[in-house]
A and B are shown apart, each in its own frame.
Chain A
Amino acid sequence: MMSGRPRQPSDDRIAITGMGVLSPIGQGVEAFWSGLINGVSGITTIERFPTHDLRVRRGGEVKQLQGTPGLERPLPACRASQFLIHAATEATRMARLSEAVAAGGRVAVVIGSALGGIAEAERWHEQPGDLHALAGAPYDGPTRQLARWLDATGPVLTISTACASGATSLGLGADLLRAGAATAVVAGGMDVLCRFVMRGFNHLRSLTRDEMRPFDRRRKGLLLGEGAGVVVLERAQTARQRGIAPCGYLLGHASCADGAHITAPDPQGRGLEQSIRLALANAGVRSAEIEFISAHGTGTPLNDRMETQVFKQVLGARAYEVPVNSIKAHMGHTMGAAATLETIMCLLAWRYGQVPPTLNYGEPDPECDLPYVTGQARTYRPRLSLNTAAGFGGCNACLVLAGGE
């Protein structure tokens, strides 16, 4: 018998009061949403570093950072920190977080990343005199930069569950609020493209020369992307007292291990299934209540088959009724950012009553036979969503989300 937190009284929920996005298909929440709904692809030839020796030279690269309203001070040189600051500035303005800080609130920062400051280590290797690059190279370098930028006063945590990091960080943020360690949490995920990660995936031959095709019979692998997604978490009661209308709620979360393989998912999906069941219990939500699934959907043969199987195990016959999508084909797998961006997508789907399509889907796979949203956006307003994520090392995570009221 599994256990977790109870169905929460309405004012014990964790509210999401602000959202910020930096992605290959758009900077800012509205541009991101427009790109998702309109099927924009952010996959391009990578231009920022040499790729001549790589099998695959394309990915979801952010070509140019535009100005973000409210961001006036000079940014740090670290690209990952820049990404975070852009996204966090948008999210904190939406949440009017400065008002909460002025009223004595304790702001925590929780950032998930698969790579941390590794691009800075590359920069240090190329320019050994730049001690700022060395200081930014640890995994927690970008998180510290963000905390400094925000003048945070509460806990500052960096987590990694590889490519599930952007979900686990939100869960940890919720735990901080429930523990009373902070009154607001700026949480999210981030990663940047660099030679380090492109070379690594190149060696593993996990990247496709084709398009990413989640759940399609022709799928051959993934493409990498970069970006940042940040949300502001608060207790629902706090948000209400501040007069903030939440974008949605994080009802439950869990991160569990496969215990199977360093780079491949457990074919039986034990860790993912455990994560979903524990997150549902944590939320006090029955699987029968789930209305939409934002899948990890990397377009690798094994992941998509395993995820489909797990959704059937958890939802039973209802799995054939619940819409599923993957937005990774729009922008590549943005690693640590992915699950936070997908969380934001779930809340926007509720807000706008539309579910973005899974791009590049054309041929059904008998082993992936769920009602994927393909072709174009579907008119549908999912109140309760699951967001699943997985990563190297058998990391899995699941969030249970509810749309705002």
Chain B
Amino acid sequence: MTPDYYLILAAVLFTIGAVGVLVRRNAIVVFMCVELMLNAANLTLVTFARINGSLDGQIMAFFVMVVAAAEVVIGLAIIMSIFRSRRSASVDDANLLKY
């Protein structure tokens, strides 16, 4: 099995994530779609590490996971606080700032 398929899978995952950000309303789901995009990038990194025969890409994937974990902490905190104030996690309800 050529590694190219992994690259294509990653591209598909990335696209699904990006489209998910556009079409989902729940802030948590939107955020999970972003996480999906990050993991698609991880998959690409690991695949290229395999193709290039170097470990760099795999190590980078670990870095990305750590950063993504930190991002989750921040993100959930923000989403929680806005949910408590508004009783809604829909991103379409947060619409006071415009024009």
User: Is chain B found bound to chain A in the same assembly?
Assistant: no
B residues touching A (Cβ–Cβ < 8 Å)? none
